[in-house]
Structure 1
Amino acid sequence: VLQQMSSQIRLMFRMAVQTSERGDRSEVFHPSHTSRINSVSSQFSDGPMQSPSARSSTSSWSEEPSQTNMDISTGHMILSYMEDHLQNKDRLDKEWEALCSYQAEPAACAVGQEEQNVQRNRPHGVLVYDHSRVILKPENNQSRSDYINASPIMDHDPRNPAYISAQAPLPSTVADFWQMVWESGCVVIVMLTPLAENGIKQCHQYWPDEGSDLYHIYEVNLVSEHIWCDDFLVRSFYLKNVQTNETRTVTQFHFLSWMDQNVPESARTMLDFRRKVNKCYRGRSCPIIVHCSDGAGRSGTYILIDMVLNKMAKGAKEIDIAATLEHLRDQRPGMVQTKEQFEFALTAVAEEVNAILKALPQ
């Protein structure tokens, strides 16, 4: 039965890759061999690591997967499929090769290349598509510009982006970043890069170390900073628009140990991080702002994992990770930049599905 099921999935995957009709693609999960899963039925548990020093550290935290409507047979199919293909080492190469040949349409990036906007992009970073970019209100902007290197990412509702994938702020774009936070109604920021890595600046610090700073018309007050474990911390900001005197609380989840062009050492740690983000975000209708340095590699990987797991939690019968990634690349170039990042996304999805199945009543 397992062999027959796997053959059917392989056939559906080949059909999905071959068709160019976006609307005709059936969604089916097709993970591949990964060295990071010894066995997808391995034990999965999460709890806090003790931090040796912290401005405020959390002493006890244990969280199971949240309530889900995941189709149990789909979950078991995913794990069986993963087990069946752990030894098929060339499957990932073929899937990644097919993804690398994918071309988004339309793909014009003229606005980001305009002379006045070039300095607002990170060197060697990705540009935003003209048809899919966050547009700031020029009247509220320091430079009277509507440009920021950030892309709204839709899931199923084209009117309401689920995420905004953004490059990390530069010293000259911090006020633009907070304007985007304010105008998008954002209450959660996911930061996936350290400020510097091997002496190379990855992100300008866009918040005060203590007290408050004013960025154009946006006053940012650091309320608290909690170190959950060695890998991530959580900051709470009190954001005020000094023009209107309106205020809002914004929570930033900062993952510290994900290096550029690389993947986290542990899928489990990233999944624990994601659960905390989603617990804070639950019930909101505004987009989550996700940024690394260029807003594509690490950001794309996180968004891919979150989007696929959210689809499963809503009871999707079939999941196609490659089609979902192409959907992301239709909205921002370079989402998920390396084969290792794609492999990590597959690993993380399988681990979370395994955790959900274990948490279900037997």
Structure 2
Amino acid sequence: MSKDNPRLSRLGVLAPAALSACMDASVLAVPAAGAIVSTVLKELSKAFMLKKWFHGVMSAKEAEHLIMEKGKNGSFLVRESQAHPGEFVLSVRVRGRVSHVMIRRQHNKYDVGSGEQFDDLVGLIEHFRSYPMIETSGDVLRLLQPVSGTRLRAHDIDRKVQEMQEMEDYQKLDHKSGFDGEFQSLKMLEDRHVFTSHEGTRPENTPKNRYRNILPYDQTRVVLRRRDNRQDSDYINASYIRSSRLSDSSSSVQSSNESLDSVKSLIINSDTKKTPPLVTKSLSDEALREAKKSFKLDKINGNLCRDVTVKNKAYIAAQGCLSNTKDDFWRMIWQEDVRVIAMITNEVENGKKKCERYWPLSGHEERFDGLTVKSISETHYEEYLLREFDVCDDKNCRVVFQYQFTAWPDHGTPGDPDGVLSFIDDINRRMIQNSQDTDAPEQNILCVHCSAGVGRTGTFIVLDMLLDKIKTSGFNCDIDVHSTVKLVRAQRNGMVQNKMQYRFIYLALQEFIDSRNLKLRKKMQVNINILCGATDRLSSASQLVKIPIS
């Protein structure tokens, strides 16, 4: 008998005779391990890619806690039974409680004991979203909104990271919890290619791939302009990565007339101990207006000091150059009008060649196909280098900046997120400056590469996307690491290679938000001190007695 079984609903939909079978999980045969994997990959791929309601292996208790905490009546999710892998359960919140419905699979069809059968889980869920189920108690199970277990408010990042770490510490032998659990749910799609990779496997193109198993999708690859009408001249192992708008539909909207007393509530993760009020004096209306102006209260989301971000940013994720692809790389940079390159690898790591030097030495110039690349400057920082190049064809010249991060090990992560955050910040400042130049590119494209162009490259791109959202929408916005990784993996296979890199994204976001909060608190306190001092001076001046001159 399944541990989930006592919680399952007694359905009275269209086929009451089928209820007894639905109620008893022991009737449902547990498939062999190979069949489980096949079923999950085949039947759940659409759910992973297009829906937010599938949560992988989860107990009934975990589902109830998640739905009661983050959902409302009509919220639902689908999970794989913890007691019986390969079987699925629909959990729905109704009238302040959570009801669990066993999903049976017989003869390659899915049903819930109602009489209708469906080819896959997506079809089943979509049907019952339109035609609700009815329990024998008379309660209607309406599937109104899916519950996402990986989405969170940016200012809740500390709590999320702590919960994930505690889960891993408590269940060290269980790879289905914490960061590892989230990452493993992504790996279920690794062998499921939504797009094709035919071009990368052509005999004339295989010498241009650094790794045989890292190929761009045909549908998202960068296509070079052909040379001499040669078919192989349009191939490079690089992919376009675009971020759909990560909108925040649920962020709070606060009035621009918000009183100064509520400013304290905008400081995220403030100390739990009782703090003295920010303003202890009664300010005039004019002083209050000045205070709000000084604090730069965001009129849209109630957030402080939103940053300027690069508009219309897109990415190219590429592998590190081979000796025979350097010309192609510069052709791509010129064709796509890329002005900034982020290189996240060293030329040699652990005695292995990771990327050929595709740029001229300091003070020199080199010819790459029809382009001349001249080194203008090279600046060394603690964890990265900045190189500036003049790139010219026969008619025009452009300045291209290359940022090379040197402290990120292959298949690993940096020891501290601070260096990467500074690296990203400097790159974005440069892109903003470029967009304001008279010869600014039509679109702001950032080319990112490591060695394979998926691990460190994917981690960088996902982190930059999420940081941009926080900078644009503030700490009240929703962020979703899991969904953002899925987004970039749908455009280049294998992005974010391992759970260490997946965890690093969370830790870097946490570090960014915590450090930004600290800066905001300090800035607000300085402004308040200035305002209170000005108020004191105004109060003293108003009490001076004017003596008329005789």
Deviations 1:160-197 (A, max 9, x none): 76100000111111010001000111000000000001
User: For structure 1, which segment, 193-202 or 316-325, has the greater mean C-alpha deviation from structure 2 after superposition?
Assistant: 316-325
SS in 1 for 2:227: helix
Match of 1:331 in 2: 491
TM superposition score normalised by structure 1: 0.78
2:391 aligned with 1:214: no
What letter corresponds to residue 501 of structure 2 in structure 1? Q
Q: Where does structure 2 lack aligned partners over 5 or more consecutive residues?
A: 1-64, 81-120, 124-144, 169-176, 246-311, 436-442, 525-550
Match of 1:350 in 2: 510
Tell whether the 8 Å contact from 1:141 to 1:179 is kept in structure 2 after alignment.
Answer: no
SS in 2 for 1:345: helix
Q: Distance in 2 between matches of 1:146 and 1:189?
A: 21
SS in 1 for 2:473: coil
1:107, distance to aligned residue in structure 2 (A): 2.5
Tell whether the 8 Å contact from 1:168 to 1:202 is kept in structure 2 after alignment.
Answer: yes
Q: Distance in 1 between matches of 2:146 and 2:488?
A: 15
Correspondences of 1:264-303 after superposition (within 5 Å): 264-282=414-432, 284=435, 285-303=443-461
Q: Which residue of 191, 215, 218 maps to 1:127?
A: 215
1:94, distance to aligned residue in structure 2 (A): 1.2
The 1:97–1:219 alpha-carbon spacing in structure 2 relative to 1, beyond 3 Å, is: same
Correspondences of 1:164-175 after superposition (within 5 Å): 164-175=316-327
Q: Distance in 2 between matches of 1:150 and 1:165?
A: 6
Q: Which residue of 381, 406, 409 maps to 1:228?
A: 381
SS in 2 for 1:237: strand
Correspondences of 1:1-362 after superposition (within 5 Å): 8=69, 15=77, 74-89=153-168, 90-102=177-189, 106-139=194-227, 145-156=233-244, 162-210=314-362, 211-229=364-382, 231-242=383-394, 245-282=395-432, 284=435, 285-315=443-473, 317-361=477-521, 362=524
Q: Distance in 2 between matches of 1:14 and 1:199?
A: 51
The 1:92–1:288 alpha-carbon spacing in structure 2 relative to 1, beyond 3 Å, is: same
What letter corresponds to residue 448 of structure 2 in structure 1? V
1:260, distance to aligned residue in structure 2 (A): 1.1
Q: Distance in 2 between matches of 1:293 and 1:25?
A: 38
What letter corresponds to residue 508 of structure 2 in structure 1? A
The 1:142–1:187 alpha-carbon spacing in structure 2 relative to 1, beyond 3 Å, is: farther
Tell whether the 8 Å contact from 2:71 to 2:147 is kept in structure 1 after alignment.
Answer: no
Q: Distance in 2 between matches of 1:348 and 1:83?
A: 14
Q: Distance in 2 between matches of 1:180 and 1:84?
A: 44
Aligned-CA RMSD value: 3.0
Runs of 4+ residues over 6 Å off in structure 1: 4-7, 16-21, 24-28, 140-144
Count matched residues.
Answer: 310
Larger Rg: 2
Tell whether the 8 Å contact from 1:220 to 1:238 is kept in structure 2 after alignment.
Answer: yes
The 1:209–1:138 alpha-carbon spacing in structure 2 relative to 1, beyond 3 Å, is: same
TM superposition score normalised by structure 2: 0.52
Tell whether the 8 Å contact from 1:102 to 1:326 is kept in structure 2 after alignment.
Answer: no
Q: Could you say which structure has the greater relative contact order, defined with CA pairs below 8 angstroms and 6 or more residues apart?
A: 1
1:87, distance to aligned residue in structure 2 (A): 1.5
1:139, distance to aligned residue in structure 2 (A): 3.4
Q: Where does structure 1 lack aligned partners over 5 or more consecutive residues?
A: 32-73
